[in-house]
Amino acid sequence: MAINKLALIRYKIIDNCLRQTHRKWTLEDLIEKVSYGIYELEGIHSGVSKRTIQGDIQLMRSNKLGYNAPIIVIKRKFYTYEDSNYSISNLPLSDNDMSKMKEAVDILKHLNGFSYFEEMSDVIARLENNLSKQESESASYIQLENNKLLKGLNWITSIHKAIREKRPLLITYKSFKSKSKQEAIYFPYLLKEYRNRWFLICRPKKGKTLVTLALDRIEEVAEMAKSGYVSYDGVDFERYYADTIGVTKSERDRGHRVILQIDAYNAPYVITKPIHASQQLLKTEEDGGILIRLDVVLNFELEREILGFGECIKVLAPKVLRDKIKRRAYKMLQQYLASAKDC
């Protein structure tokens, strides 16, 4: 049974009232208390009807939500709990609830390294502790991709906070290509994850175009005065990466029509797990191979994806991508030929 937010609020208020044994609660008292509570919490002025509260009490008494609340009526007028220690908040978790909670905790444990919120570790620890009190230790049935050796994850919280609050950041950054670290002010706009690495899409204060900073190359982050922040209106970030594999893209880049030939062995894998959301099946060949079309930016991540298939894939178009993959494959071959000579 689906329960809406207002219903949960009503149950909680009724529960709090009936736990107060120092006073007697009539139906009218409960209606008034619930109406006031909903106004305070949700700003709703219309109140609640007598029929609604009667229905709530009946539902709380039943087993439909697992409450089985021992609500009784004294002198045909006053509502109270027969058991003064009862509360809907004290109910033990059912076996089904326990199972779902454990699965949720397993997922949170894997995502914790990439969490935006520092307090998530404490939340997970408390959840595990509470669950372990009610159930013996059992094996985990969910494993997600996780790399605890990744650097830069400690910056996620502060950067995410700066994006939400629209604050400039003073970032000390050292790229793989640079011999020394650089310090500059950036306006942060978007955090993006790709294959377990995190990136910040931002604009330098002294620049006009967007740049992508890898969080594992950031050495220091410091918040600047909020008044200096400059928003960016040139890009709809909800759609900015729609035509991109990975994160390598400039504002001028546009998607290209990429035609790929996949051999018969790998065809089912590519069909069931598309290389990109734009993937279209153009043709199924006699030997079971397929031709597919992608509409994507020509970048490093696309090349790496193609090269990852090795000899099982062939670029048919565009020519510029075909030639580049051909050159890289040739250099790869040269590496092995050179190694063979050394042996």
**Residue 292 φ/ψ, nearest 5 degrees:** -125, 160
Residues 81 and 108 in one domain: no
More confident: 314 or 146: 314
Residue 48 belongs to a domain: yes
Exposure string of 142-178, with b = 16+ CB inside 10 Å and e = fewer, is eeeeeeeeeebbebbebbbbbbeeebbbebebeeeee
Residue 112 belongs to a domain: yes
Residue 251 belongs to a domain: no
- Taking the C-alpha atoms of residue 285 and residue 298, their distance in angstroms, rounded to an integer, is 26
Q: Quick one: pLDDT at residue 85?
A: 87
Residues 332 and 282 in one domain: yes
- Ordered alpha helix ranges (H), the chain: 5-19, 27-42, 50-61, 95-111, 120-134, 156-165, 267-272, 300-307, 319-342
| 96-116 residue pLDDT tens | 666 666 666 666 555 544 444
Q: How many other CB atoms are there within 10 angstroms of residue 263's CB atom?
A: 17
Residues 105 and 70 in one domain: no
Burial class (CB in 10 A: 0-12, 13-18, 19+), 201: buried
Query: CA angle, corner 79, sides to 73 and 82, nearest 5?
Result: 70
Find the CATH number of the domain harbouring 196: 2.30.30
DSSP secondary structure, 175-218, as one string: -TT-SS-EEEEEEEEEEEEETTEEEEEEEETT-SS-EEEEGGGE
Q: Where residue 66 falls among pLDDT bands split at 50, 70, 90? A: confident
Residues 57 and 101 in one domain: no
Q: Quick one: pLDDT at residue 278?
A: 96
Task: Give, in order, the Cα–Cα distances in Å from 147 to each of 112, 140, 143, 255.
Answer: 11, 18, 12, 31
Residues 60 and 128 in one domain: no
Residues 85 and 102 in one domain: no
Residues 285 and 308 in one domain: yes
Q: Quick one: pLDDT at residue 119?
A: 47
- Taking the C-alpha atoms of residue 282 and residue 270, their distance in angstroms, rounded to an integer, is 13
Domain that holds residue 69: 5-90
Find the CATH number of the domain harbouring 27: 1.10.10
Q: How many other CB atoms are there within 10 angstroms of residue 113's CB atom?
A: 16
Residues 288 and 317 in one domain: yes
Q: How many other CB atoms are there within 10 angstroms of residue 96's CB atom?
A: 9
Query: Do 243 and 298 meet the contact criterion of CB atoms below 8 Å apart?
Result: no
Residues 224 and 189 in one domain: yes
Q: How many other CB atoms are there within 10 angstroms of residue 71's CB atom?
A: 18
Residue 237 belongs to a domain: no
Residue 214 has pLDDT above 50, yes or no: yes
Q: Six-digit token pair at 51? A: 């029929």
Residue 247 belongs to a domain: no
Domain count, the chain: 4
Residues 200 and 277 in one domain: no
Task: Give, in order, the Cα–Cα distances in Å from 232 to each of 160, 184, 208, 235, 237.
Answer: 16, 18, 10, 7, 10
Q: Where residue 95 falls among pLDDT bands split at 50, 70, 90? A: low
Residues counted in the chain: 343
Residue 312 belongs to a domain: yes
Q: Quick one: pLDDT at residue 107?
A: 60
Residue 161 belongs to a domain: yes
**What Rg do the C-alpha atoms of the chain give, in angstroms?**
30
Residue 240 belongs to a domain: no
Residues 123 and 157 in one domain: no
Q: Where residue 170 falls among pLDDT bands split at 50, 70, 90? A: very high
